Amino acid sequence: MKKQNEKSKNITILAILYALAAALFYALNVPCSKLLLEYVSPTMMAAFLYLGAGLGVGLMYLFHLPKEQKTERLNKKDLPYTIGMVLLDIIAPILLMIGVNIGSSSNATLLGNFEIVATTVIALLIFKESVSRRLWIAIAFITLSSIILTFGGEGSFDFSFGSVFVLGATVCWGFENNCTRKISEKSTYQIVTIKGLCSGTGSMIIALVIGERFSQIQYIALALLLGFVAYGLSIFTYIRAQKTLGAAKTSAYYAVAPFIGAFLSFILLNESLTVSYLIALAVMIVGTGFAVYDTLIRKHTHEHTHTYTQDGITYTVTHSHSHQHVLGREKHDHKHF
């Protein structure tokens, strides 16, 4: 029993580390993309990021393929979720670009932070994933911190028609996170390779249709490399986290990405760390604390058998009960009647 609990605890901690690693890898995207966007057009940049993810993880997949079990591979049953994942990854950025084009970028940034809420609500209502009160509290704090981080003063939040498109993008990404969750037990290598190559190809077609053209080869290579790390490795570790934590909890941990990104911008781009950033960071730490506590709490069932003798006859009585406790704690006291 002790070994089993210890193993369960290790798996949970590893999943949390995967989720935080996903946030760290993705956080590289903003400051590094800002440097590359001087030489690569936006939609073409998105295409190269996705393609870099697909090509990089696809190369890793070739080495992993001989060890992969046939049962790990995607099959016909997974096809609807796979198609949904790819289509939503193409549609969401288009909706976001339309929203930014007819609205304000600050408004789009603020509304974009509600992807975590969309992911959780969809996980709860449609995919029937359990969401505890502690996790709702964590999400509330994380959402509040995101609002503080992106709020730029009066007029920065101006709900417009463009906001509808931005909200549509967050809902698409919420559905996409849950679609990926439904196939997360399958080969992570295969999922990320398909996701990257198909979504990248879709974005590339859109870029060419709207008139964007290829940049110099050295910048394309850098964009592909950034895509492998910021998208490929990020998605890879995100899916690994989802296997244990589920869509809602993983998105809660992933919400630390803007804070890591802001700190990297401070290091790489000499941008200042504002007072609002420090306040939002404190609120985010509280929210993340609730998420970690909720993750490490688990409910289990004890079964007890009691034997007693009365009037020369031996009776055996079995009963069970369940309760929650923190993973790793083996000792607990409770009364039996």
Q: What is the DSSP letter of 280?
A: H
pLDDT for 27: 80
Which strand (E) or helix (H) includes residue 95? helix 79-102
Which strand (E) or helix (H) includes residue 323? strand 313-326
Q: Which domain holds residue 272?
A: 2-298
pLDDT for 204: 92
In a domain, 328, yes or no: no
In a domain, 330, yes or no: no
Tell me which residues of the chain have a pLDDT lower than 70: 1-4, 97, 100-101, 103-113, 146, 149-160, 258-259, 262, 269, 271-273, 277, 292, 295-337
pLDDT for 6: 73
In a domain, 305, yes or no: no
In a domain, 166, yes or no: yes
In a domain, 119, yes or no: yes
Which strand (E) or helix (H) includes residue 23? helix 2-27
In a domain, 320, yes or no: no
What is the number of other CB atoms lying within 10 angstroms of the CB of residue 238? 27
Q: What is the DSSP letter of 1?
A: -
In a domain, 333, yes or no: no
**Minimal CA–CA distance to 304: which of 334, 325, 328, 326?**
334
**Reduced DSSP (H G I as helix, E B as strand, rest coil) percent helix, strand, coil of the chain, to 5:** 70, 10, 20
In a domain, 9, yes or no: yes
Domain count within the chain:
1
